[in-house]
Structure 1
Amino acid sequence: MPVPPNDARREVATDRAGLDEVDRAILRILAEDARLANNAIADRVGIAPSTCHARIRALRERGVVRGFHADLDPAALGLGLQAMIAVQLSAHTKQQIEAFVRDVPRLPGVVSAFHVAGADDYLLHVAVRDSDALRDFVLDHLTGHPAVRHTETSLIFAHLPGTLTGLGLAD
C-alpha cells in the first residue's frame, strides 16, 4: 500500500531517529531488495522518483543507510563451516587494541568482527572450509597474536536472520 507523500500542509510523525513514514517505507523496501530501481521504490511508496532519490540520498548522508550489499552464502563459496570466536585481549593498551583492530578484519575467513562489552572483548564471525581450517585459523592468527590472551570458539549450525521488527521497521 502506498504511503502518502510528505505534505508541507500537514505534520508528519517522525520517530526518535527523525524518520517519517515515507523514510521507514523506503527502508523496508531497501532491506528486502536493495537492487530495486529507484522508480520501482518510488512507485511502491507512492512518491515521485525525484523525491525518492533525494530521500535515499539523505538517508545515506545521515548514515541511516550505510551501504548496499550482496548477501553471500559462504557454503556456496566452499566455506562450509562458520564459527563465532570470542576473544579476550591480554591487555587493554592503546597499542594492543590498535594492532588487533588493524589486523583482524584483514584475516582470511573473517566475515565480521564485533567489539563487545562483558567477559570477552571481541566476537569474530568466521567462515572457513572445514574444521582443520578453523583450527589453523585460531592457531595461526589468534593464539599467536600478541594482543590475544584467550579464545573460545562456538560453531554456527544455522544463521537465523533478524526481521525488520528488530530494527523497528515492521509494518
Structure 2
Amino acid sequence: MNPPIDAVDRAILEILRDDARTSLAKIALSVNVSESTAHRRLQSLVARGVIKQFTIVEDAQALGQDTEALISIRIKSESRSNLRSFYRFLVDLPQARHTYFIAGSNDFIVHVAVASARELRDFVSDSISSHPDVASTTTALIFEHGV
C-alpha cells in the first residue's frame, strides 16, 4: 500500500501544478527540505502514480483556435453498448482538448477548440451530430476559462 500524501507532497504538487518546469532547487527551498529530499519525494510521487505526467497547457488563441466550446452529447439508448468505443472516437478527434464520460442526462462532455464559429458549426454537424450513435448534442460557447 502506498504511503499517504503529506503536507510536503501536497506543497510539491501545488508548485508543479503552477509550473511543471520548476527546478528541484526551487521546490526544495519552497517546501523547506534538501534538494535530495525534494528529488526523492518527486520520484516517489511519480512512482506511486500520483503524478501521471508532466505536460503543457496550450494557448488555443495562439494556435489560431479562437473558438472554444463544451459539447454535451447524449447517446441513443440502443447504442449503450458502444459507449467505450464512442469515447475513444471522441478522444481521438483533433479538435478535442478534453473528453469526459459522465453520469446524468448526457453521456459525454467534450471541450473543443477550433478556429471559428463556422468551424465549430461544421464540426458539431459533420463529426458529432451525424454519428449514428448520437441522440442529441448541446453546445455551449466558452467565453473565458482558467487553467
Residue by residue over 1:16-43, the C-alpha shift from the partner in whole angstroms, topping out at 9 and shown as x without a partner, is x921111111112111211011122112
Partner of 1:126: 112
Match for residue 47 of structure 1 among 6, 17, 33: 33
> What percentage of aligned pairs have identical amino acids?
39
In 1, are the aligned partners of 2:69 and 2:111 still within 8 Å (CA)?
A: yes
Superposed, which structure 2 residues align to 1:1-171 within 5 Å?
18-91=4-77, 92-94=79-81, 96-161=82-147
In 2, are the aligned partners of 1:99 and 1:147 still within 8 Å (CA)?
A: no
AA aligned to 1:93 is R
Q: Distance in 2 between matches of 1:70 and 1:159?
A: 16
Q: Distance in 2 between matches of 1:102 and 1:113?
A: 9
Say which SS state the counterpart of residue 137 (structure 2) adopts.
strand
AA aligned to 2:85 is A
Unaligned runs of 5+ in 1: 1-16, 162-171
Greater Rg over alpha carbons, structure? 1
Give the TM-score taking structure 1 as reference length. Answer: 0.78
Say which SS state the counterpart of residue 82 (structure 1) adopts.
strand
Unaligned runs of 5+ in 2: none
> Which structure 1 residue ranges, 4+ long, deviate > 6 Å from structure 2?
none
Question: Where is the helix percentage greater, Structure 1 or Structure 2?
Answer: 2
In 2, are the aligned partners of 1:113 and 1:123 still within 8 Å (CA)?
A: yes
Aligned length: 144
Q: Distance in 1 between matches of 2:131 and 2:48?
A: 36
Q: Distance in 2 between matches of 1:58 and 1:123?
A: 33
Tell me the CA shift for residue 51 of structure 1. 1.6
In 2, are the aligned partners of 1:23 and 1:55 still within 8 Å (CA)?
A: yes
Q: Distance in 2 between matches of 1:120 and 1:61?
A: 35
Q: Distance in 1 between matches of 2:101 and 2:18?
A: 27
Give the TM-score taking structure 2 as reference length. Answer: 0.90
Say which SS state the counterpart of residue 120 (structure 1) adopts.
coil
Say which SS state the counterpart of residue 72 (structure 1) adopts.
coil
Tell me the CA shift for residue 98 of structure 1. 2.5
Residue by residue over 1:77-101, the C-alpha shift from the partner in whole angstroms, topping out at 9 and shown as x without a partner, is 000000000000113533x113212
Residue by residue over 1:23-81, the C-alpha shift from the partner in whole angstroms, topping out at 9 and shown as x without a partner, is 11111211121101112211221212222112111112222212111111101100000
